[in-house]
């Protein structure tokens, strides 16, 4: 996936800021057909599907007569979702405290795959707690990174009541 020209980023970001939202990411996803311009939007309380549909129409109007005209590119307007890619320092910052998995091009502490809790994120690197050991991972070594959704099991129905009776 490739990054998109800064002028397109600025145009879309201005529109979203006016809507009280954040342009989280903007990239071109290739495929077997026409490439797709993927616009990832986030907000303080997330973004629901109906709002994404409205925003998609607004973004499409903004892109008319640009290099990213919808007649040439597909357009996908989406939210980051439960598991999100970490591509920019801002993504890392927003994910502090969450479980992450990171792949690096070079080994760090004899490993190229790192899974743990993201403790901090700076401009150039992040610190991940891996089984009680803090590991600093420079962004320049990262080939892919994402948050990991942890599904918490809820107690079986009635288990809490039985527990309280004891």
CATH of the domain at 10: 3.30.300.70
What is the rounded CA–CA span in Å between residue 146 and residue 70? Answer: 29
The answer, yes or no, to whether residue 25 has pLDDT greater than 50, is yes
The answer, yes or no, to whether residue 27 has pLDDT greater than 50, is yes
For residue range 54-111, list pLDDT tens digits in order.
Answer: 999 999 888 887 777 766 778 899 988 888 889 889 999 999 999 999 999 999 999 9
Same domain, 59 and 104: no
Written as one string, the DSSP assignment of 43-80 is: -BTB--HHHHHHHHHHHHHHHTTSTT-TTTSEEEEE--
For residue range 145-163, list pLDDT tens digits in order.
Answer: 999 988 877 777 765 555 5
Q: Is position 42 within any domain?
A: yes
Query: Model pTM greater than 0.75?
Result: no
> Which position has the higher pLDDT, 117 or 48?
117
pLDDT > 70 in the chain, percent: 89
DSSP H helix total and E strand total for the chain = 4, 9
Same domain, 99 and 132: yes
The answer, yes or no, to whether residue 18 has pLDDT greater than 60, is yes
Number of domains in the chain: 2
The answer, yes or no, to whether residue 1 has pLDDT greater than 50, is no
Q: Is position 157 within any domain?
A: no
What is the reported pLDDT for 114?
A: 97
CB 75 within 8 A of CB 37: yes
Residue with tokens 């809490």: 160
């Amino acid at each position: 996936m490739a990054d998109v020209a800064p002028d397109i980023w600025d145009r879309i970001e201005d529109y979203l800021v006016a809507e009280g939202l954040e342009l989280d990411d903007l990239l071109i996803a290739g495929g077997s057909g026409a490439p797709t311009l993927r616009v990832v939007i986030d907000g303080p309380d997330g973004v629901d599907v109906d709002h994404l549909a409205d925003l998609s129409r607004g973004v499409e109007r903004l892109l008319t007569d640009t290099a990213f005209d919808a007649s040439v590119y597909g357009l996908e307007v989406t939210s980051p979702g439960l598991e999100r890619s970490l591509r920019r320092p801002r993504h890392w910052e927003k994910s502090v405290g969450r479980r992450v998995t990171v792949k690096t091009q070079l080994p760090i502490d004899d490993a190229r795959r790192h899974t743990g809790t993201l403790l901090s994120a700076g401009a150039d690197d992040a610190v991940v707690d891996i089984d009680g050991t803090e590991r600093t991972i420079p962004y320049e070594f990262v080939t892919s990174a994402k948050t990991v959704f942890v599904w918490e099991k809820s107690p079986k129905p009635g288990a809490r009541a039985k527990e309280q009776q004891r």
